[in-house]
Amino acid sequence: MDAALGLAPLTPLAQLDRAADYFPDRVAYRFEGASTTYAGLREQVRRAAGLLVEAGVRRGDRVAVLARNVPVALLAHFAVPWAGGVLVALNHRLAAGELHGILEHAEPRLLVAEQDLADLADDAVAGLDLPVLPDSALLTAAVSSADAVPERHGVTDELDLITLNYTSGTTGSPKGVMYRHRGAALQSIAMAYHLRLEMDSVYLWTLPMFHCNGWSFPWAVAAAGATSLCTGTTDPEQLWQLIRDETVTHFCAAPTLLTSLLTSPAAAPVEQPLTVATGGAPPTPALIRRAEQLGLHVVHLYGLTETYGPSLICDWQPEWDGLPEDEQAEKLSRQGIPNVMGATVTLEPVPGDDGRGLAELTIAGNTVMAGYYRDDAATAAATVGDDRFRTGDLGVQHDDRYFQLQDRAKDVIISGGENISSIEVERVLAEHPAVSESAVVARPDETWGEVPVAFVTLSDDAGDVSEDELIEFVKSRIARYKAPKHVVFGPLPKTATGKIQKFELRTRVGEQPAGPGADTPR
């Protein structure tokens, strides 16, 4: 038996080869009115990879890229690994000091920076021996330079690293998460399947490509031979204009961005079928209902940077079509079941739970990280056994086997011996017509141990809404002891990927005066 027969290294770079070989004239990406075909994209990638090699990039070297969702970011997802390098897609919303720390840790060979972010790049590399390559140099070489020698390093080991992604830091300092070619290839196929990408699909880049490599959609779109619509904006009105003008069929968004889109004055029912995948925080049934009213088909998913993005998908079952609207929205708000690439999800009892019934989701499989870069201790702390990743999320599994999160392990509020799910309270607050967003955290309390405090952002047209009104609203819908004891109004602190920074809110609660519900009976 030939040991090599039937075996080839898995890599998402193969998606581009297939598209360029078999539908070369299909549009690979559009940006500000200009289009590039798949044949053109492959040639751009070859030349860009050549320039990187000329700049000193060798197999295994990290190459950092600081860019919005513009063509150079898409190009880099193919060109850097094509040159044998490991892509480090940087979060351009971070401060220079934060980027500096990441660059110190990743030790890239060079930094490619979008022209509009040149000042940020210069500040980030201050004091580092790190050359900055303007995106114009890479794009020029890719498009027109006769001096850029086309280059391609074949993938010989699918377990080699393809990217290094830094976590968004919702719980502290970001860590470098290592992705392999194998995991990225499998995840890209899963995303193309679950969102039903086809050749005539137009994928709008609202999800940052720096976030889990855009959930592997740079490669997933290529796998389908579909079109990437690049854009440097996240302005809701401009996005709605693109959705209509470019006949967008798919996009992904964190609930915060989805909320801003759905509440935008420009929001109106779409004419074409439009699928939106959302994850990062459980969308409320109210948010899902609003999306469906505008003709957006919502796909709820769940994952982490450590799982290449989406690991669970809330697959819709036809039998649910006849359910009442509220029940449908409730079904959709669950995190779902493992994606088609078959990660194994289990519920691990929480040590010291004392019978409260808490269980943590753990995930194993081909789309789990290879570990934290240069941090064996953090990798060990995040692992159960040899292969299961601890998510830190607490949940349940329903009778139909669908998983649903109850809270982050650190976000469960234990008040007077009772567990209070911050997510449950947030979902009730979201039902109030004046509430745009909310986050609930624990405040230490001498009597109860902990009590819930709500931070709330009101809708633009909310009018006068009092703290008492919101507290009573929650008490009218769930157990009284679960209601916030204090409500703080104002914008919520978020990471650059749109996740609410609850660790910052926990710091703030110690500074807040006791609210009107603090001394009332439970």
* pLDDT tens digits, one per residue of 234-287: 999 999 999 999 999 999 998 778 888 998 999 999 999 999 999 866 677 778
Verify that 381 and 423 share a domain, yes or no: no
Segment 119-137 mean pLDDT:
95
The predicted-structure confidence for 71-127, as pLDDT tens digits, reads as follows 999 999 999 999 999 999 999 988 888 899 999 999 999 999 999 999 999 999 999
| Residue 66 maps to a domain | no
DSSP annotation string for 386-448: TTEEEEEEEEEE-TTS-EEEEEEGGG-EEETTEEE-HHHHHHHHHTSTTEEEEEEEEEEETTT
| pLDDT, greater one: 340 or 461 | 340
Answer whether residue 134 shows pLDDT above 80.
Answer: yes
CATH number of the CATH domain containing 489: 3.30.300.30
Verify that 380 and 446 share a domain, yes or no: no
| Residue 153 maps to a domain | no
Segment 140-156 mean pLDDT:
75
Where does the pLDDT of residue 32 fall: very low under 50, low under 70, confident under 90, or very high at 90 and above? Answer: very high
| Residue 99 maps to a domain | no
Total number of domains in the chain: 2
Verify that 387 and 468 share a domain, yes or no: no
Q: Would you call 236 helix, strand, or coil by DSSP? A: helix
Verify that 425 and 486 share a domain, yes or no: yes
The predicted-structure confidence for 383-401, as pLDDT tens digits, reads as follows 998 889 999 888 889 999 9
Segment 355-371 mean pLDDT:
86
pLDDT at res. 417: 54
Q: Would you call 500 helix, strand, or coil by DSSP? A: strand
pLDDT at res. 318: 94
Dihedral angle over CA of 470, 476, 477, 482, nearest 10: 70
Asked if residue 311 lies in contact with residue 353, where contact means CB atoms within 8 angstroms, the answer is no
Verify that 400 and 425 share a domain, yes or no: no
- Provide the percentage of residues in the chain whose pLDDT is more than 90: 63
| Kind of pairing between the strands at 344-349 and 359-364 | antiparallel
| Residue 457 maps to a domain | yes
pLDDT at res. 195: 97
Gyration radius (Cα) of the chain, Å:
23
Domain range for 383 is: 338-408
Verify that 463 and 484 share a domain, yes or no: yes
Answer whether residue 521 shows pLDDT above 70.
Answer: no
pLDDT at res. 167: 85
Asked if residue 412 lies in contact with residue 423, where contact means CB atoms within 8 angstroms, the answer is no
pLDDT at res. 418: 63
pLDDT at res. 515: 44
| Residue 386 maps to a domain | yes
Out of 35-49, 139-153, 171-185, 279-293, the most confident range is 35-49
| Residue 271 maps to a domain | no
Range in 74-88, 176-190, 298-312, 431-445 with the lowest mean pLDDT: 431-445
DSSP H or E run through 30: strand 27-31
| Residue 468 maps to a domain | yes
- Boundary of a domain, candidates 408, 433, 458: 408
pLDDT at res. 281: 66
Answer whether residue 522 shows pLDDT above 70.
Answer: no
Verify that 469 and 434 share a domain, yes or no: yes
pLDDT at res. 282: 64
pLDDT at res. 450: 81
Where does the pLDDT of residue 172 fall: very low under 50, low under 70, confident under 90, or very high at 90 and above? Answer: low
CATH number of the CATH domain containing 390: 2.30.38.10
pLDDT at res. 169: 52
Answer whether residue 372 shows pLDDT above 70.
Answer: yes
Verify that 421 and 503 share a domain, yes or no: yes
Range in 6-15, 150-159, 163-172, 428-437 with the lowest mean pLDDT: 163-172
Q: Report d(CA 38, CA 225) in Å as an integer.
A: 8
| Residue 373 maps to a domain | yes
First to last CA, the chain: 72
Amino acid at 6: G
Segment 54-63 mean pLDDT:
95
Range in 206-215, 275-284, 414-423, 470-479 with the lowest mean pLDDT: 414-423
Verify that 504 and 420 share a domain, yes or no: yes
* pTM of the full structure: 0.82
194 — phi, psi (to 5°)?
-70, -30
pLDDT at res. 478: 81
Verify that 392 and 442 share a domain, yes or no: no
Verify that 404 and 352 share a domain, yes or no: yes
- Boundary of a domain, candidates 360, 380, 408: 408
Verify that 424 and 402 share a domain, yes or no: no
Segment 49-58 mean pLDDT:
93
The predicted-structure confidence for 195-229, as pLDDT tens digits, reads as follows 999 999 999 999 999 999 999 999 999 999 999 99
- Boundary of a domain, candidates 408, 435, 452: 408
